[in-house]
Amino acid sequence: MESAGDWCLIESDPGVFTQLIRKFGATGVQVEELWAIDDGIFENLRPVHGLIFLFKYMQDDEPPEPVVCDDRLDKIYFAKQVINNACATQAVISLLLNCNHPDVDLGPELSKLKEFSMSFDPKMRGLTLSNSQTIRTAHNSMAQQPLFEFDPKVASKDDDAYHFIGYMPIDGRLYELDGLRDGPIDHGPIALEQDWLDVVRPIIMKRINVYTEGEIHFNLMALVSDRKMIYERQLHEVQMLTMETDDMENEIQRLRMLIEYEDVKMARYQQEMIRRRHNYLPFIIMLLKILAEEKKLMPLLEKAKERASKKGTKKMKV
């Protein structure tokens, strides 16, 4: 997929997504990356409002399940993707706009957007999203600063196209929201006492299994309630109890640690964002100057060449 208009390519990273959501003005939610899709993995993350799945896009796969085109479209916010590079943002927004959980507060900007475009058809909704200044600005502020801009032809040809889609339960059924389809894909009902994550798991597994073994071009992220908020709520509840026991002490300790962990994580996200947006050119030049003074440049180049030729021959063998 090529970049389009002035939407930048953004990294698929839970920090980027979490900050993106905050920039939209939504609160009470964050994004966590999942490294496996076993049963236990969601335990510490519940409630999970939706999943974002990134995969290598293959042109030929047909939707296995029926595409919704009846009046459910009035209730499900589905937007067709009309611009490239925005699929991550679009997947996140689609999940958010369909999320009715009390933890999640969309904030004025997204609420307005939803209200404004709810009556549109999917294509018009997509256009509305792509023309939203707030969304685009937020999206673009997540991108890495390019030191230089090159003609696209210089970029490696085997750049794969990736695509993000969302999964979430809406009104008792599991839907797949893929901006490149004509509508939401209905994956069937979720039984009343059934956890929707149990329904979605085999579907994602099946998708992953389509790819040849050894391919790791997937990324699964979960849209979850703000963890710190949840822990603070739990802490509050525990502290409300008047009796003090050792168990309670331990629980308070545990929650405090988790809250601290979240704080550290957010600080790290921020730091990473600063790095992404930092202009490293002056640093590089100064570093090269220093290395030149210490006569370390030539040996460095020799090593880099060695590495490059190794890489090159390896590539040629494959």
Partner 1 sequence: MTLKGRMVHPDKRKGLLYVYQGEDSLMHFCWKDRTTGEVEDDLLIFPDDCEFVRVNECTTGRVYVLKFKSFSKKYFFWMQEPKTDKDDDYCRRINEALNNPPTSGGRGGGGGGAQDGELQNLLNNMSQQQLMQLFGGVGQIGGLSSLLGTMGNNSSSGTGSGGGSGSARASGGSGGSSRGGSAPRTSESTPAPAAAAAAATTTTPTPATPATPATPAAPARTTTRREVPPAATPPNTASATQPRSGQIFLSDLQRYFSGLGNAPEGAEGGAGGAAGGEGPGRVELGAALAAPDVVAAASEPRNAQRLAPHLPEPAPTAPTAPAAPTATQPHDDVRTTLLSPQFAQAANQFSSALTSGQMGPIMTQFGLPPEVASAANTGDMQAFFKALESTSNASDSSKSQGEDKKKEKAKEDKDGKKDGASGMSLD
Query: Is 148 an interacting residue with respect to partner 1 (CB under 8 A)?
Result: yes
When the beta carbons of 242 and 279 are compared against partner 1, the nearer one is 279
Q: Out of 153, 158, 242, 318, name the contact with partner 1 by CB under 8 A.
A: 153
Minimum CB separation from partner 1 for residue 228, in Å?
A: 8
**One symbol per residue from 62 to 101: x for binding partner 1 (CB under 8 A), - otherwise; what is it?**
------------------x-xxxx----------------
Using CA of residue 26, residue 27, residue 28, residue 34, what is the dihedral sign?
positive
Query: Is 134 an interacting residue with respect to partner 1 (CB under 8 A)?
Result: no
When the beta carbons of 171 and 237 are compared against partner 1, the nearer one is 237
163 a catalytic residue: yes
**Rounded (10°) CA dihedral 239, 242, 248, 253:** 30
Tell me how long the chain is.
318
Angle between helices 87-97 and 14-24 (to 10 degrees): 60
Element (H, E) at 34: strand 29-34
CA 119 – CA 199 distance, rounded (Å): 30
Of the candidates 8, 49, 87, 99, the residue annotated as catalytic is 87
Residue 187 has a CB neighbour count (10 Å cut-off) of 20
Touching partner 1, residues 225-284 (CB under 8 A): 228, 256, 259-260, 263-264, 266-268, 270-272, 274-284
Touching partner 1, residues 282-301 (CB under 8 A): 282-298, 300-301
CA 308 – CA 169 distance, rounded (Å): 48
When the beta carbons of 41 and 124 are compared against partner 1, the nearer one is 124
Query: Is 60 an interacting residue with respect to partner 1 (CB under 8 A)?
Result: no
Touching partner 1, residues 187-216 (CB under 8 A): none
Strand spans (E) along 171-299: 173-177, 185-189, 218-225
Stretch near partner 1 under the rule CB under 8 A, chosen from 37-45, 68-76, 141-149, 245-253: 141-149
Element (H, E) at 107: helix 107-117
Of the candidates 8, 99, 139, 163, the residue annotated as catalytic is 163
Touching partner 1, residues 5-44 (CB under 8 A): 5-9
The CA distances from residue 184 to 75, 99, 188, 207, 285, in Å, are 11, 15, 12, 17, 50
For 304, the token pair is 């880099």
Q: Out of 154, 240, 243, 318, name the contact with partner 1 by CB under 8 A.
A: 154
Query: Is 313 an interacting residue with respect to partner 1 (CB under 8 A)?
Result: yes
Stretch near partner 1 under the rule CB under 8 A, chosen from 70-78, 143-151, 197-205, 237-245: 143-151
Q: Out of 12, 111, 141, 219, name the contact with partner 1 by CB under 8 A.
A: 141
What percent of the chain is helix, strand and coil (3-state, nearest 5)?
A: 50, 15, 35
Tokens 């479209």 -> residue = 73
99 a catalytic residue: no
* Active-site residue set: 87, 163
